[in-house]
């Protein structure tokens, strides 16, 4: 993992507007998660949260290749996917604080944000728990003759779950428009991938005849380019793909996982943060290529900071749900 890739892909087919949008979304995810950590350390947030910092290029690169009515399923480490698909930070923070104004009226919390308006079928706290749901959404799209696709995000830990292979088999048999995106951030909770996964990751897809590729998950343009290809393929009725995004989780498994030396070194973390940071890499590429000026980018960064500050204030000021809501929504 020490092979430094200091610049993002040269495979550029996106407009400047799209690039700045990607930069903004990456900033939003980074700053959203920093605020989450702050809310946790200030004891303002009930429970825990699993931060997406370091992996921003994956969610953004892929979701920027999707339409609003395309589907995604997300994971316990799902804030990034939700933001990337277009969720509003204010209602996300409200959900994280268990407030009525949250996306799930406070009933879901950090690990279950769902939003039909942006095609978000929901974050799922069972590892690989949404593999069936995403595949089912693709089944619906195909059945209804719609051109929607579904993206199923999961971590490399989910490759230990049999249901992933069951639905890949089904999706390949039935040529379903679904892209299985494995975010390999190297750690299944507190255990290195070398202890959890045997064999070759990509061959897990190719065994089913599913086109499978790996990409540098720190390179948003590279992720976007391969995602676009796979999404177009799915939309054209050619079936599922499997994408492994090699990335890194900067922080602990959750916000309370502070002392991590027993499973990985500070030096390893520092290396990724210094030379493999997706936002830094994208920033230097954008400025180096003359796509954006440092001033433009720092303006975006500041706008996002103001948006996050207001979103947190909104969530803190929002009321909790009334107690009598507890038994509401058990059944439709």
Partner 1 sequence: MPENATRELTFAQAVNEALAEEMRRDKRVCILGEDVAEAGTPFKVLSGLVQEFGVERVIDTPISEPGFTGVGVGAAMTGMRPVIDIMFGDFLTLTMDQMVNQAAKVHYMSGGKWKVPMVLRTTLGASRRSAAQHSQSLHAWFSHVPGLKVVMPSTPYDAKGLLKSAIRDENPVVFFEDKMMYKLKGPVPVEEYTIPFGVADVKREGEDITLVATSSMVQVALEAADLLETVGISAEVIDPRTMWPLDEKALIDSAKKTSRVIVIDEGYERYGVTAEIASVIAEGAFFDLEAPVKRMGAMHVPIPFSPPLEDVTVPTGPGLFAAAKKLCGKN
* Residues of this chain that bind partner 1 (CB under 8 A): 71, 73, 102-108, 112, 114-116, 121-122, 124, 126, 129-141, 143-144, 150, 162-163, 166-167, 169-170, 173, 328-332
310's tokens: 């207001």
Give the residues across from 151 on adjacent strands. 72, 179
Q: How far is the CB of 104 from partner 1 (least distance, A)?
A: 4
> Residue 60 or 158: which CB sits closer to partner 1?
158
Give the residues across from 192 on adjacent strands. 187
Q: How far is the CB of 92 from partner 1 (least distance, A)?
A: 13
Residue of 107, 74, 106, 75 whose CA lies nearest to 93: 106
Q: Which positions ≥6 away from 59 have C-beta within 8 Å?
A: 25, 29, 52, 80, 81, 83, 84, 153
Q: How far is the CB of 146 from partner 1 (least distance, A)?
A: 9
Interatomic CA distance for residues 37 and 43, integer angstroms = 10
Interatomic CA distance for residues 138 and 141, integer angstroms = 5
| Cβ contact 220:80 at 8 Å | no
> Residue 80 or 136: which CB sits closer to partner 1?
136
Q: How far is the CB of 316 from partner 1 (least distance, A)?
A: 19
Instruction: Return the H-helix or E-strand segment holding 275.
Output: helix 266-275
| Cβ contact 131:163 at 8 Å | yes
> Residue 122 or 155: which CB sits closer to partner 1?
122
Q: How far is the CB of 59 from partner 1 (least distance, A)?
A: 20
Q: Taking the chain, what is the end-to-end CA distance rounded to the nearest angstrom? A: 48
Phi then psi for residue 102, to 5 deg, are -70, 165
> Residue 103 or 282: which CB sits closer to partner 1?
103
> Residue 63 or 223: which CB sits closer to partner 1?
63
Q: How far is the CB of 125 from partner 1 (least distance, A)?
A: 8
| Cβ contact 272:248 at 8 Å | yes
* CA angle at 23 for the pair 19 and 27, rounded to the nearest 5°: 170
> Residue 137 or 186: which CB sits closer to partner 1?
137
> Residue 174 or 314: which CB sits closer to partner 1?
174
Q: How far is the CB of 313 from partner 1 (least distance, A)?
A: 22
29's tokens: 């995810």
């Amino acid at each position: 993992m020490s092979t430094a890739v200091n610049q993002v892909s040269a495979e550029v087919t996106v407009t400047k507007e799209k690039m700045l949008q990607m930069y903004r979304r990456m900033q939003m995810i980074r700053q959203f998660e920093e605020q989450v950590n702050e809310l946790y350390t200030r004891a303002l947030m009930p429970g825990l949260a699993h931060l997406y910092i370091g992996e921003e290029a994956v969610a953004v690169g892929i979701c920027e290749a999707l339409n609003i009515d395309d589907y995604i399923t997300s994971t316990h480490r799902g804030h990034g996917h939700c933001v990337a698909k277009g969720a509003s930070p204010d209602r996300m923070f409200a959900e994280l604080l268990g407030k009525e104004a949250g996306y799930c009226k406070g009933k879901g919390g950090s690990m279950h944000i769902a939003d039909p308006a942006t095609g978000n079928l929901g974050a799922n706290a069972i590892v690989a728990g949404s593999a069936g749901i995403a595949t089912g959404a693709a089944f619906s799209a195909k059945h209804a003759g719609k051109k929607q696709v579904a993206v199923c995000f999961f971590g490399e830990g989910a490759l230990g779950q049999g249901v992933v292979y069951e639905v890949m088999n089904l999706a390949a048999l039935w040529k379903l428009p679904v892209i299985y995106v494995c975010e390999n951030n190297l750690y299944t909770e507190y255990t290195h991938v070398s202890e959890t996964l045997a064999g070759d990751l990509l061959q897990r897809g190719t065994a089913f005849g599913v086109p499978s590729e790996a990409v540098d998950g720190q390179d948003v343009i590279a992720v976007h380019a391969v995602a676009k290809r796979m999404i177009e393929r799915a939309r054209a009725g050619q079936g599922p793909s499997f994408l492994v995004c090699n990335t890194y989780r900067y922080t602990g498994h959750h916000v309370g996982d502070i002392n991590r030396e027993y499973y990985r070194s500070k030096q390893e973390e520092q290396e990724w943060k210094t030379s493999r940071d997706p936002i830094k890499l994208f920033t230097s590429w954008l400025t180096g290529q003359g796509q954006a000026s440092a001033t433009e980018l720092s303006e975006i960064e500041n706008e996002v900071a103001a948006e996050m500050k207001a979103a947190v204030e909104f969530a803190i000021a929002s009321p909790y749900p009334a107690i009598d809501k507890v038994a509401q929504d058990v059944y439709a």
